[in-house]
Structure 1
Amino acid sequence: MSANTKPKRPPLTHFLCLPLVNDVSLPQLESSLATFKASIPQAPARSDLTEQQRRYQQPRPLIPDDAIRPVGTLHLTLGVMSLPTPERLNEALEFFQSLDLPSLLRAAGEIAAQKKLPEATTTNGTTIDSATNTAEVLIKSSIDEHSQGGLTPLESFAISLESLHALPRARSATILHAAPVDPTSRLYPFCEALRKKFQEAGFMQKEYQRGSATKLRPLLLHATIANTIYIRGRKRNTGGHGKGRRPSQYTFDARDIVSHYKNFYLDSDRTDARSSVVTTRDELGSGDDHTGRDSAESHSEDEGASAQPASDDTNSSYPFVWAGNLPIESVCICEMGAKKLDAEADENGMNVRLGEKYAVVAERSLTPATSSL
């Protein structure tokens, strides 16, 4: 290998996640995605066309149908892994099965309690303050508690999926996602500790490459609603020739649609929607006030952004709820690449409803009894 040749990145084969589709969430998510699809505005006319060409241009949605993710793929990713051989995969699966998840859940509850008090201690007497690394406290607490046989019963996760965020930025988005909201504040500390265990064991990627720079992967729990990488027939880059040319990714201005879903309801009970369709600046006219659209840009995150999205309840805004009281029933290791489900081999119609699904290679329950689809 020459000095100028970059080493190949290891192939990403698996990921650790919290599935979001079950008996409780499925009908809610189906309804919400139908609402979302119906609200998508038309894409603006291309600026490079003549007046005559624009007259005959077919209207097209701002977000193509192919970009919207099938309901069966919705999940929260904790991290990605490269497990290219059966031996490496088996090592990761054995490690996964060895983890004391109940202790991590109990410790996450202690971290959550600390947020409500000026000072708190874990069940093993460890004092937690704002300067303490959350994941380290969780891991230490889980180890000590495991040796003591455990203490308190577990309370199941029940979250909601709310609002809409854009990546890498709202002005030129490629991804739209919903944020998990956990009223017990245990979700992030639990996921941080679990992710750190996988990273320290050498199974999970800690970094990602952005150009020539190497950056740490933050924990950004999110449910992807739309991703333009899945659009078929994307335009190719205009520069370059031959095999080096790759399809360019479709980007779109998501400020209007992000603003719409971040301020969706008129009331705190979230029963009265402001509008069933997204209103764009082009429809309002350039002179009309549309500060919500511009402020949406400041809420967008990229891979290096804060791990936890800012609250959407500021300025009396009431964001869209994709699914409420959604139980988190398990944590899974899945294969990369969702598989299309066969609509023909479908006795109860579930394959048609889900569309696609990731192959689960290992699963651990987070509840006494699960009801996953």
Structure 2
Amino acid sequence: MSMFRTSSYIADINRIFQTLRISPTRGPLPVHHFRPFVTSIRKMASDSSDGETHHDGASTEQPSSSSSKPHRSRPTHFLCLPLHGQHYPTLPQSYLPFKSAIKQFTIDETSQDASEESSMPADAIRYFNTLHLTLGVMSLTTPEKLQQAISTLESLDVSQFLSSDGLQNDDEKKLNISLKGLESMDNSRKGVEKCAILIIPPTDAPSDGGSTGGNRLYTFASALRQHFINEGIMTPENRPLKLHATVVNTVYSKKKKGSKDKKSKNSRGGGRRGNKERITFDATDVVERYKDHVWAEKLEIDRVQICNMGADKGEEVVGEDGTVEVVGNGYRVAGSRLIWP
């Protein structure tokens, strides 16, 4: 607001107050005496809300807190390293113990007394065919954006991000990992006691030559993620990459009837997803039981995939041994690239 306009408004206001001051006994004043005062106040309010402008055209008005935050579109796809082996015609030998371990984990943990306060929701356990290591998420909301992401991956020499220093032959150059232990995504004491997500941390597995080749897995995953961020395809995150295989996630759980009024730990909300209260449970015992458990050793990761958000439900099939297995579930693959073509 200019100094001239400010002085003009102040003069109008002073004139009204002078009239009021020198006429204390005249009774109610006519309405027209107040019109300049009201007009001046309205103009001052209007001008002050418009925000001043510098000579270069840049407004000095401070944006609202909501407008200052960058808008993030809802993720539609994610870049990952698959751990389920569905892409092989026949499941490799190294994957079989891992699949059996996940199956046994499901049986053991869902057979616990459901009335226990610390019980894990059975429908929170993830199916083997959904397991993967997420590198980052993408919002590919148009066919053009999706095609750009797929083309970027399928034309990329992925092996350039995988260190092969000191590794002599093709077997040693393979990206082999081990999966050991069980952790809460939030590994603090409070996070374990009110757990919503359980994960298995991956580590590099020794090659046939006896060397891990350094921290190849994390270096490879970080470099690959950064490449997609640099290409403007992946949404950058202000946090370091945390590689993990999610085996339990209560976002997929349905709250049981009557649990709202109970004060059990597996029915308390530890946060919200939309308007849905997040189910939590005390994971202290299960984390302790599996802290040294070896899920898989020398599990080869041979490709990178772009997958759609939201896993297919699948169908339950009864095997010859009487056990029930879910088939046809997992994430739909939009694009894939072998590490060593």
Residue 135 of structure 2 corresponds to which residue in structure 1? 78
Structure 2 unaligned spans of 5+: 1-62, 86-90, 206-211, 263-272
Amino acid at match of 1:84: T
Larger radius of gyration: 2
Structure-2 change in CA distance of 1:260 and 1:336 (3 Å): same
Partners of 2:282 and 2:311 lie apart in 1 by 27
Partners of 1:90 and 1:34 lie apart in 2 by 36
Partners of 2:326 and 2:112 lie apart in 1 by 28
Structure-2 change in CA distance of 1:60 and 1:42 (3 Å): farther
Per the TM alignment, residue 358 of structure 1 is displaced from its structure 2 partner at its CA by 0.2
1:321 and 2:294 matched: yes
Per the TM alignment, residue 342 of structure 1 is displaced from its structure 2 partner at its CA by 4.2
Residues 238-288 of structure 1: per-residue CA shift (max 9 Å, x gap): 9xxxxx9822111112122112211xxxxxxxxxxxxxxxxxxxxxxxxxx
Q: What is the number of residues matched between the two proteins?
A: 240
Per the TM alignment, residue 170 of structure 1 is displaced from its structure 2 partner at its CA by 1.3
Partners of 2:121 and 2:303 lie apart in 1 by 32
Structure-2 change in CA distance of 1:31 and 1:152 (3 Å): closer
Q: Is the 8 A contact 2:110 2:122 kept in 1?
A: no
Residue 200 of structure 1 corresponds to which residue in structure 2? 230
For residues 1-373 of structure 1, the aligned pairs below 5 Å read 3=64, 5=66, 8-22=71-85, 23-24=91-92, 25-40=94-109, 58=115, 62-105=119-162, 108-110=163-165, 155-168=173-186, 169-183=191-205, 184=212, 185-207=215-237, 216-233=238-255, 246-262=275-291, 319-342=292-315, 352-354=325-327, 356-367=329-340
Question: Percent identical across equivalent pairs?
Answer: 39
Q: Is the 8 A contact 1:71 1:356 kept in 2?
A: no
Structure-2 change in CA distance of 1:194 and 1:58 (3 Å): closer
Per the TM alignment, residue 217 of structure 1 is displaced from its structure 2 partner at its CA by 3.1
Partners of 1:352 and 1:34 lie apart in 2 by 9
1:40 is paired with a residue whose SS is: helix
Per the TM alignment, residue 341 of structure 1 is displaced from its structure 2 partner at its CA by 2.2
Structure-2 change in CA distance of 1:259 and 1:76 (3 Å): same
Partners of 2:73 and 2:227 lie apart in 1 by 20
Structure-2 change in CA distance of 1:12 and 1:175 (3 Å): same
Q: Is the 8 A contact 2:124 2:250 kept in 1?
A: yes
Partners of 1:32 and 1:205 lie apart in 2 by 34
**Superposition RMSD on alpha carbons, in Å?**
3.3
Partners of 2:261 and 2:339 lie apart in 1 by 46
2:304 is paired with a residue whose SS is: strand
TM-score, normalized by length of structure 1?
0.57
Q: Is the 8 A contact 1:13 1:83 kept in 2?
A: yes
Structure-2 change in CA distance of 1:260 and 1:330 (3 Å): same
Per the TM alignment, residue 109 of structure 1 is displaced from its structure 2 partner at its CA by 3.2
Residues 271-313 of structure 1: per-residue CA shift (max 9 Å, x gap): xxxxxxxxxxxxxxxxxxxxxxxxxxxxxxxxxxxxxxxxxxx
Amino acid at match of 1:358: Y
1:160 is paired with a residue whose SS is: strand
TM-score, normalized by length of structure 2?
0.62
Structure-2 change in CA distance of 1:260 and 1:342 (3 Å): closer
Amino acid at match of 1:109: S
Structure-2 change in CA distance of 1:3 and 1:60 (3 Å): closer
Structure-2 change in CA distance of 1:367 and 1:256 (3 Å): same
